Structure 1
Amino acid sequence: MELKPVGLGVLLFVLLGSCSAQLPKWRSPSLGQPQQITGRGPVQQVGARLPLQDPVSGVLVNPEDPLSVQLKQVMQGPVKKLTWHFPQAPEKPKQPEVYFEPRQPVSVVSVAADCGENSVYVEVKKDLFGTGELINPSALSLGGCTATGEDSAAQVLIFEAELQLCNSVLTTTADELVYSFILQYASEPLGGMPILRTGGATVAIECHYPRLHNVSSNALLPAWIPYASTVTAEERLVFSLRLMTDDWQYERPSNQYFLGDLINIEASVMQYNHVPLRIFVDSCVATAAPDANAVPRYSFIENYGCLVDAKLTGSTSRFLPRVQADKLQFQLEAFVFQQQGSNLIYLTCFLKATPVSASAPTDAVHKACSFTANRWTTADDDDRVCGCCDTSCGLRDGGSASPVAGPQWEGNISVGPVWIGEKSPVWQRGGVN
């Protein structure tokens, strides 16, 4: 008798139905104690309730438990990136390429000579170098002879001397007689200060007497040696002191100036993680060497921001009206030191910055004052703060300095070397126009 396949299938189903499945324990996020899950019946029904392990977080998740699913979503949520970083120091903006051609001095016709039959007649403008600075007549001589007259209206000094006098030198050639004179100007310091705004000058004057008695003249011009260098210093708040072009738009590519020129200087502070700042130039000195304490030494800004150069020497040096709180511009008339072989000067200034205050923008120790038209004026808003420039600013009755209101930042900044050349006078035949 053969067994049929149908009976075998029924037997296996019975055996499987009589077995109990042992399921793993798991802890529901919503319950505190482990639970034992058992069941009877088809395998596919028991497996549908098994907890699943998340492959990313490793947490057992029951698909039928909403708290468990929520836990999975929290563990797999996006992580917000950190955007904070330490503040970076500001980069100094790059200056565009500036077309700059240093000005060359134009020879000033300030000396004229006429040679007569027995004498020489010389006229000399008191503005000998064409800079606006009038010379001291006692410092000018023709071969040791002083001026014999003066035209006050035309600002002209007059020399008249016989050909054989005033240390003239006679030279004889085959065709002519030549009488040579030396017109000499010895520069003098201004106001007792160790600086000069006009250089010494020597002009050779010759009277030629050929058969036809022609008169000729020659001019002596010095050779100019160009030199360029610019130095900008930085401190804690990125203070700077720069030589500027005539329109104040760019840093000047050259440091070459001539006596009588105005040196445009801009002091500034870069505002880095600070409230708006106002800058002041407390003091400035000029030296012939990089050392600010070198001798000779000329202090042209002192007493907490008083630009004294104009009062001491009669120059046109001044602060310009302030157009921006964090910048201060001033002009210094070029000069050289007396009895120094070098035409280089170095400028060192003490700068300070304070928070901008609408209630008290300036005071006796925070100011920028210029001496113009015989009085002190400020670059800011109230000339009264300049009233102490002729005495001692910032000192109270007891002799102590006034306290500084609020925080203050300060530092020494230098710029240089600055090359100062001399303008040379020339002379022509005939009178001075």
Structure 2
Amino acid sequence: MALFWHCVLLSCLVVASLISADMKLDCRPDYMTLVWTDSKSQTDPSLFRLGSCLPTSFTAREVVFNVEFSDCSFERLVTGNELLYTNSLIYTSSPDAYMPPFTIPVVCTYERPKDWYPMIYDPVFSTYGVEDLVFHLDLMNDDFSGPAESTNFPLGSMIPILARVEQVTHQPLLVLLDECVAATTPDLRPGLDLYPIITNKGCLVDSKTSRSKFEPRVKSSVLQLLLQAFKFALGQEVYIHCSISAWDPLDLDNTKKACHYVKDHGWELLDNPVYSGLCDCCDSTCSTRKRRSLGSDKTGLVQKAILGPLTITDLTS
């Protein structure tokens, strides 16, 4: 089909001129690339979001989003002879920061496909689409590009773990690890010796005494954890038991968060360090909020998952 590409730039140029920045948008048939360049480094690149997506990459002066229209909560609109994909570039700094928050519309416009017709559907809606949620917890290779080739890890090495939720057709969700413990059995029972990894509703407590950390997100529905292989149950089969949850990305609080400890800095919130105050309770008790009952352990906002068995070996012994 014939295509033409452009974006709505008027408001973009107004904001960009105020902070000596430039935004370039390249619309392709199924994806788009957005590049924000701030020549004076007045903004924090890590605080940009395109809809629900974090930057694909960034430097001190440049933020890049290379995303498909099926991600980031793009909205599709067909009007007249045009097909539009719309979203917003969001800067999420605190209101009292040097550069206050702002939002810029992002629009890719195409010629309407000649064979496109409105879909006929029944108006059935679900707030979270929980009936379609599928959670995953996987061991990955070193760069998270595929599954792990081995389940044996030397003591002190990094164990890449990926948690994700398949969102299907509902609104974008932020996946979190609420609790994770290591055990020597696939079943948790009273009196069992456990090794705490994540506690207190998203606090990576293992990071206080190790190199464990959360990696920057590639998308809201994916959480990457680098876990340093620990001394617990050396040479034995180990199972990692986790509670995975999925929430509205804009609804973080001290019970819905991902926090890790940064040496000489303290607790830091993965998804927006400006609001790391949500992690202050990690050294005490993070108050719980009663979750809505969803009637099923398999399709709710919270899911139990087990990873393993894996083995941690001490090469010095």
Normalising TM by the smaller chain, what interval? Answer: 0.5 to 0.7
Matched residues, percent identical? Answer: 35
Cα pair 1:296 1:337 within 8 Å, conserved? no
**Correspondence for 1:189:** none
Matched, 1:301 2:198: yes
Aligned mates of 2:262, 2:216 — CA distance in 1 = 13
Cα pair 2:132 2:167 within 8 Å, conserved? no
Aligned mates of 1:297, 1:406 — CA distance in 2 = 28
Cα pair 2:161 2:225 within 8 Å, conserved? yes
**Correspondence for 2:247:** 354
Cα pair 1:306 1:370 within 8 Å, conserved? yes
**Correspondence for 1:274:** 170
Alpha-carbon shift at residue 404 of structure 1 (Å): 5.7
Q: Which amino acid aligns with 2:229?
A: A
Alpha-carbon shift at residue 343 of structure 1 (Å): 2.1
Q: How does 1:131-280 map to 2 (within 5 A)?
A: 237-280=133-176
Alpha-carbon shift at residue 332 of structure 1 (Å): 1.1
Structure 1 stretches of 4+ moved >6 Å = 82-85, 405-408
Cα pair 1:278 1:326 within 8 Å, conserved? yes
Q: Which amino acid aligns with 2:197?
A: F
Alpha-carbon shift at residue 236 of structure 1 (Å): 6.3
Alpha-carbon shift at residue 257 of structure 1 (Å): 0.9
Compared CA separation, residues 306 and 354, structure 1 to 2 (3 A)? same
Q: How does 1:111-150 map to 2 (within 5 A)?
A: none
TM-score of the superposed pair, with normalisation by structure 1: 0.39
Aligned mates of 2:182, 2:282 — CA distance in 1 = 20
Aligned mates of 1:404, 1:387 — CA distance in 2 = 22
Aligned mates of 1:277, 1:352 — CA distance in 2 = 9
**Correspondence for 1:327:** 222
Cα pair 1:287 1:345 within 8 Å, conserved? yes
**Correspondence for 1:384:** 277
Alpha-carbon shift at residue 420 of structure 1 (Å): 1.4
Cα pair 1:262 1:332 within 8 Å, conserved? yes
State which structure, 1 or 2, has the greater radius of gyration over its C-alpha atoms. Answer: 1
Instruction: List runs of 5+ in structure 1 lacking aligned partners.
Output: 1-81, 88-234, 395-400, 426-433
Aligned mates of 2:143, 2:293 — CA distance in 1 = 35
Aligned mates of 1:293, 1:323 — CA distance in 2 = 35
**Correspondence for 1:364:** 254
TM-score of the superposed pair, with normalisation by structure 2: 0.53
Aligned mates of 1:385, 1:337 — CA distance in 2 = 29
Matched, 1:419 2:311: yes
Compared CA separation, residues 287 and 236, structure 1 to 2 (3 A)? farther
2:174 aligned counterpart, secondary structure: strand
Matched, 1:337 2:232: yes
Q: Which amino acid aligns with 2:283?
A: D
**Correspondence for 1:286:** 182
Aligned mates of 1:383, 1:404 — CA distance in 2 = 23
Compared CA separation, residues 404 and 84, structure 1 to 2 (3 A)? closer
Aligned mates of 2:304, 2:132 — CA distance in 1 = 11
**Correspondence for 1:54:** none
- When the two chains are superposed, the root-mean-square deviation of aligned CA atoms in Å is 2.8
Alpha-carbon shift at residue 326 of structure 1 (Å): 0.2
